[in-house]
Structure 1
């Protein structure tokens, strides 16, 4: 894996964890990266494992079997920082996380798909908030599923984590593309105006793969970026999952492929998934008619060193 000259260097030995909840139809992939974080003021280097996980409508009243399976998944992840999507309330996370984790979450009692971030020592949560609480942003960020900003630090390093859950493709990919692209434009504009020079990790469920326009807008910081396979290196945010897409790794849609599977884990690759995603970009189609429904929607992007506004 070629790494950028950024404040984070992605290790060659990137590890992938298949997340399965036994005897359910929820199959997901959580990708965990090892980052080398280098603070400007100290020579000491810190390794941190970061994950993103759309946990699918988690509430505090789930059945015992699912709760135990999720607890096992979290233990096996052994991640320092985990971004979550589709959380009903903080108690739901408290039931599955070890006590050492601290939770950042703006809880909306009327929302069942809130975002959250869990952090364990030596890292700590300094502050957190919604970035776009104004209802005018609800088209780009559905309902109260706002971008969550969390300041994280330890004695060596401070950085900003942005947790995102983009509009789904429900209702038609071509019809919903503008909403995901609008969200990316808002995020880019916000970073340029308010987080210039900060160390940033943007993670979550983007409901697009790394080749789609909404991700290319984030990777290049350009509102006019086009969809398609990258022809030049990322310049604004480095997408750590780009190479995974090129190898047909997936994180979504397994339940449509393996409806009767009995195994606890799944193959991480689905051949031709990237090709099929790119083939149907900008076209009208019925999701159920797709020969391959799996895709790589869960992603982690990081900022480059000395990033500033254009």
Structure 2
């Protein structure tokens, strides 16, 4: 993986992250009093062991083979992150195929959707779980489908702690204005109110915090939705001013946001995207339509 480049200011142009190769070594520790941890978010694209034709799955969903799982696991090894927030995974057992118990503890949301969110945390870090943020499911109880809950945990390395929220928000409103009346935009706006409340609570508590996941939104510092989230205090949008090379190039919808002390922990120029070796859409059924996004944090 290489250093990110700033996108061309012209809206019709996408400039890409320059990828010089894989990041094969863990980020180095800066000073005796700091520990650098690598934090990543990765949407794994309907990672499920359910049989084709299961009523909970889309009819055209390709079946993930054992070879495909091994391929994903190889990328998880190359990612080599200490904390991975993942989305669209059906069970802890499947997550453990990518993030083995010898190195990671798996924590997942308790909702009953197929596309659950979760966290893989390196051994040696303590995990304290908080109640899931079920309020992200803004649909009524009798809705035929439901939205994903958020996973809320605190990670502690024995010296410092970090509150983490994993999200997977409603698709279909990547760029529209808050006043857009399409159902997807109205749903996303309601979810962002829930997220705004969670962020405001963390700002009031003064704890270091991080929100990461699939926002399904091209967040920028000037985006009205992002500005709403900053109403109670400044946030660092680690993907700001950058574009991704994933599957040929796009603007980010997978984001990592930092608040309070965690903003000062961000290692400069550490934003990376792990791209797949074969930039061939035929590989997508065995891989994912998202690539892992990561940053380094120098925890005190």
**TM bracket (short chain):** 0.5 to 0.7
Residues 34 and 49, structure 1, Cα contact 8 Å, conserved in 2: yes
Name the SS for the 1:180 alignment partner. Answer: helix
Report what 1:180 is aligned to.
188
Which residue is equivalent to 2:78?
A: 76
> 8 Å contact 1:35–1:49 — kept in the other structure?
no
Note if 1:98 corresponds to 2:100: yes
Total equivalences in the alignment: 219
1:221 Cα offset (Å): 2.4
* Alpha-carbon contact 2:136-2:147 (below 8 Å) kept: no
- Residues 194 and 301 (structure 1), Cα distance of their counterparts in 2 relative to 1, 3 Å cut: closer
Cα distance 1:73–1:49, how it changes in 2: closer, same or farther (>3 A)?
A: same
CA contact (8 A) 1:88 1:112 kept: yes
What is the root-mean-square deviation of aligned Cα atoms in Å?
A: 3.5
Note the residue ranges of structure 1 that are not aligned, 5 or more in a row: 2-13, 20-32, 223-234, 255-266, 271-293
2:244 to 249, 270, 276: 249
Aligned runs of 1:277-288 on 2, under 5 Å? Answer: none
Between the aligned partners of 1:83 and 1:194, the Cα distance in structure 2 is: 19
Contact 2:147 2:170 in 1 (8 A): no
Instruction: Indicate the residue corresponding to 1:29 in structure 2.
Output: none
- Which residue number corresponds to residue 122 of structure 2? 120
Give the alignment partner of residue 87 of structure 1, picking from 86, 89, 94. 89
Helix, strand or coil: the match of 2:146? coil
2:260 and 2:18 mapped to 1: Cα distance? 22
Q: Deviations over 1:165-216 (max 9, x none)?
A: 1100179964222322322222122232356211101000011112343333
- Alignment of 1:200 with 2:195, yes or no, is no
Q: Which residue of 2 aligns with 1:214?
A: 225
Q: CA deviation at 1:35?
A: 10
Uncovered stretches (5+) of structure 2, i.e. residues with no partner: 4-16, 51-63, 264-300
Question: Is this contact kept in 1: 2:209–2:258, CA < 8 A?
Answer: yes
Matched, 1:191 2:188: no
Residue pair 1:37, 1:48 contacting (<8 A) in 2 also: no
Superposition misfits of 4+ residues, deviation over 6 angstroms: 14-19, 33-38
Match of 1:46 in 2: 35
TM-score (norm 1): 0.61
Is this contact kept in 2: 1:237–1:301, CA < 8 A? yes
Q: 1:16 to 1:144 in 2, by over 3 A?
A: farther
* Cα deviation digits, residues 119-175 of structure 1 (max 9, x gap): 00331212243123586x337xx8240121011112111111100111001799642
Name the counterpart of 1:10. none
2:149 aligned residue: 146
Show the counterpart of 2:134: 132
Q: Aligned to 2:134, what secondary structure does the other structure show?
A: coil
Match of 1:297 in 2: 253
- Change over 3 Å in CA distance of 1:144–1:36 after alignment to 2: farther
Partner of 2:163, secondary structure, is: strand
| 1:231-279 CA distance string (max 9 Å, x none) | xxxx5221011031xxx3355xx3xxxxxxxxxxxx5xx4xxxxxxxxx
Looking at structure 2, the residues matched to 117 and 106 of structure 1 have their Cα atoms a distance apart, in angstroms, of 9
